[in-house]
Amino acid sequence: MPQTIGTAMIEKLHANDAVIAVDPQIDFCPGGALPVPEGDEVIPVLNLWIDRAGELGATVVISRDWHPQDHCSFESQGGTWPVHCVQNTRGAAYHPELHVPAGAIHVSKAADPARESLSDFTGSGLGASLRRKGVKRIWVGGLALDYCVRATVLEALAEGFEVHLLLPATRAVNVNAGDGEQAIEEMRVAGAVIEEDAS
Q: Known catalytic residue: 136? A: no
Catalytic site residue from 40, 85, 120, 148: 148
SS3 133: coil
* DSSP symbols for 63-129: EEE-B-TT-TTBGGGTSSB-S-SBTTSGGGSBPTT----TT-EEEEE--STT----STTTTT-HHHH
Whether the upstream peptide bond of residue 144 has omega within 30° of 0, thus cis, is yes
From 27, 85, 109, 146, the catalytic residue: 109
Which of the following is catalytic: 23, 40, 65, 146?
Answer: 23
For the question of residue 109 being annotated catalytic, the response is yes
Residues classed as catalytic: 23, 109, 148
